[in-house]
Every structure is written in structure tokens, then in C-alpha cells.
Amino acid sequence: MTSATPPGPRPEPDAAAVTEAADAADDGSTADGGGTGDGGWRIFRGDGRSRRATLPPAPPWRRFRQPGESGEAGGPARPPLPYLISDSHADVVNAALHLRRPLLVTGPAGTGKSSLARAVAHELGLGALLRWPVNSRSTVQEALYQYDAIGRLRETTLSRDRGEAEPSIGSFVRLGPLGTALVPAERPRALLVDEMDKGDVDLPNDLLTVFEEGVFEIPELVRLPEEQSRIRVFTADGDDTVEVDRGRVQCTEFPVVVITSNGERDFPPAFLRRCIRLDLPVPDEERLRAIVAAHLGEDALREADELLQAFLRRRAPGELATDQLLNAVFLRSGGVDLDADGLLDAVLHQLTGTV
């Protein structure tokens, strides 16, 4: 005859096992490795539980360079792709290159205006693309150079107090993207002036002299005595420095300048006369297919027919951008049902009107 086990308190479950099971349920898997069937799509669930979720790989165009990597600072970390452009549009680009004139690129959002500047810089081997993003407060002077007078005063005072030599004024002067593009060199640099139409109404006229003569002065250096006529200053390329003689920067080769505009306002005739204009249309179906294949591969293209047709039906000039189609195809190729819960409407939302 066996004796029954006396009743007593139930053993506490192992805390680590409970946590592991909860985390497994939260990230869409089960203890035996099975899934919940959503393919890992719902990383965020809105249930208030904290979890260490594994983020999926980013789309190729949303991966960024690490410090020290070559290429445009902060630019996308991906091998350069061919820029899909018609022969007639490429001829306009070549005209600007031969004439050493700025290329004014207009067209709706998402037609590849900024990407064209990167493509030109890459194909011509002009080094990292210099970029000047224009806004309503942008001025030509800040694009040429910036002088940190307060920083110089502070460092000079500290040096005197310590009995040390005063720092060079060049340590407090940094050339902007436009100023760096005008530094004399054997080969020209490429400069992107992005969304010029967002700038002040006088900004195009303020650029006329610089674009026409390729020269500017830094008054803080011009005033220095003769023994300080040659000063090294920083450039827009991080810690790189160049020597400036008597405060004057004069290019030897006019930079390759690409100016983009979304057409929000007109530019003065004097400015337009100095530019070569290229108007990029919205890509047709054939070009859209080529863009999808170039960015995501032929396999993604085979799954994109339904999305492509939906994109073309919804698109009107200025209302949908090509990168929105790429976003939708990327999600679809990852196994996401874009017809569920209005997700397709969110990805292919219109760019105009009230949000």
C-alpha cells in the first residue's frame, strides 16, 4: 500500500521559462520554433508589452553609410545603380557639362531629380557629392562659408590665460558645400542644390555672380596682415582642409552643379538664362518596371503587376512618387498582404491636398 503525498504549496514556475515563453509568443513564434502565421510582419502590436524585437533588413535605399566609408556623407550604403534616363534627357545633361552651366532639373516629386546628381558624380568620378539642401532661411553666404567668431574669441581667451599661442583663425572657418565646390582643383566637384524653389525669392539672384565668375571672398581672411595671407580652412568634407590665399577662393574648373525644383514658384529670367533646363516627366509603365527591377530584382518585378497597375490607376501628376511604388513592392516581396487593413492606401497615399 502506498502512501499519498501530503498536500502542500504548489512549486513556483521557473521565471526564466515564463519569460522565454512570453517572448516567444510576442515575437510571433512558439516554443518549438513554430510561427503564428503573420510572417513576422507585426513587430509592433500595441499591447503595451516591452520586448526585444528583431527588426527586418531595411530596403536597399534606406541603408546608410557608416563613419569612414567612402561616398556622400550620410548617403545610402548601397552599390550605385544605373540611372535610367532617355537619350534625349541625357543629351541635355551633356549639354550642361560641355557648356559648364548649372543644370536646372524640374519635375514632380519622385521623378529622380536628386538621384541624377548622384549618378553624374559617380559616372564622372567626381568624388563625394556635395549637397546644399535649400530652405526658406538659406543664404548664399552660409553655402559659401561659415565663421565661428564666438568660438574663436573663447579659444583665444583660454589660450592667453594658459600662456599658449593663439589658435589660427582658419580653425574657425569652414567652407560650405558651394564654397567647397569652388575650391581650385584639377577636376571639378559635383554640387547638388536641392529644392531651390523652397528658398527665399532673392536667392537665385544672389547666386548670379558666383555662378558667372566662380569666385568669392572671405572678408575675415582678406583683412589679415600679409604674413598671414595663406590660411588653411576646413571644407564641407569633414576634417579636410584647403589653403586659401588672401581670403579669395577662385575655381579653376567650374563645378558640375545640379539644381532641383519641384516647380513651386518661378525663377527670374536672369537666373534661367544661366542654366540649362531639364524637365523630368513621370515615368511610364515600361520605365517603372525597369526601376523596380533595378532596385529589387527581377523576382520582385514578377510579383509587382497588381501593385503596378494600382499605382498607375491612382497616379496623377504630382500625386504619387516612384519611391512609393518601390515601398509597396518591397513589402509585397517580403510576404506582406498589402490589401489587408488599408495598408495599400497608406503606402500609396497622395502627396497633394490635406493630410
Q: What is the pLDDT of residues 48-105, one digit of tens each?
A: 889 888 888 888 777 776 655 555 545 554 556 778 899 999 999 999 999 999 999 9
Query: Both 242 and 335 in a single domain?
Result: no
DSSP conformation class of 244: E
Q: Tell me the Ramachandran region of residue 71: left when phi exceeds 0, alpha when psi lies from -120 to 50, beta otherwise.
A: left
137 in any annotated domain = yes
User: DSSP letters along 87-129, please?
Assistant: HHHHHHHHHHHHHT--EEEE-STTSSHHHHHHHHHHHTT--SP
Domain stop point among 279, 307, 337 = 279
Euclidean distance between CA atoms 180 and 143, whole angstroms: 9
pLDDT (tens digit per residue) in 311-335: 888 876 557 788 888 888 888 887 7
The residue to which cell 527665399 is assigned: 200
29 in any annotated domain = no
Query: Both 293 and 273 in a single domain?
Result: no
26 confidence band (pLDDT: 50, 70, 90): very low
Average pLDDT, stretch 97-117? 92
32 confidence band (pLDDT: 50, 70, 90): very low
Task: Yes or no: say if 336 and 39 are a contact pair by the CB < 8 Å rule.
Answer: yes
Euclidean distance between CA atoms 237 and 239, whole angstroms: 6
What percent of the chain lies above the pLDDT cut of 90?
A: 47
Angle at 121 between CA 120 and CA 127, to 5 degrees: 170
13 in any annotated domain = no
25 confidence band (pLDDT: 50, 70, 90): very low
Euclidean distance between CA atoms 325 and 287, whole angstroms: 12
Phi, psi of 19 (to 5 degrees): -60, -40
Q: Where are the beta strands (DSSP E) in 246-341?
A: 248-250, 256-261, 276-279
Domain stop point among 279, 312, 336 = 279
Phi, psi of 2 (to 5 degrees): -95, 150
Query: Both 92 and 238 in a single domain?
Result: yes
Amino acid at 97: L
Average pLDDT, stretch 17-36? 42
Query: Both 181 and 289 in a single domain?
Result: no
Cα→Cα distances 80→70, 118, 123, 299, Å: 12, 9, 9, 20
311 in any annotated domain = yes
State yes or no: pLDDT of 22 exceeds 50: no
Q: pLDDT value at position 5?
A: 43
Q: Which domain holds residue 333?
A: 285-347
Query: Both 228 and 97 in a single domain?
Result: yes
Domain stop point among 238, 262, 279 = 279
Query: Both 306 and 226 in a single domain?
Result: no
Q: Where are the beta strands (DSSP E) in the chain?
A: 103-106, 130-133, 145-147, 173-175, 190-194, 215-217, 230-234, 241-245, 248-250, 256-261, 276-279
Q: pLDDT value at position 343?
A: 65
State yes or no: pLDDT of 2 exceeds 60: no
Q: Taking the CA atoms of the chain, what radius of gyration do you get in angstroms?
A: 28
Strands 145-147 and 173-175: antiparallel
Q: What CATH number did the domain enclosing 242 receive?
A: 3.40.50.300
Query: Both 306 and 210 in a single domain?
Result: no
State yes or no: pLDDT of 195 exceeds 60: yes
Q: Which of 173, 153, 155 is nearest to 232 (CA)?
A: 173
Task: Yes or no: say if 254 and 100 are a contact pair by the CB < 8 Å rule.
Answer: yes
Query: Both 183 and 163 in a single domain?
Result: yes
Average pLDDT, stretch 137-165? 93
Query: Both 97 and 206 in a single domain?
Result: yes
Average pLDDT, stretch 333-344? 68
What percent of the chain lies above the pLDDT cut of 70?
A: 79
- 68 burial (CB, 10 Å; 0-12 / 13-18 / 19+) is exposed
Query: Both 290 and 149 in a single domain?
Result: no
Query: Both 137 and 235 in a single domain?
Result: yes
Mean pLDDT of the chain: 82
Query: Both 312 and 217 in a single domain?
Result: no
Q: For 34-43, 48-57, 135-144, 224-233, which range has the lowest pLDDT when averaged over its residues?
A: 34-43
Euclidean distance between CA atoms 312 and 309, whole angstroms: 5
pLDDT (tens digit per residue) in 245-293: 999 999 999 999 999 998 888 999 999 999 999 999 888 888 888 888 8
Cα→Cα distances 307→161, 278, 319, 343, 350, Å: 68, 29, 16, 12, 15
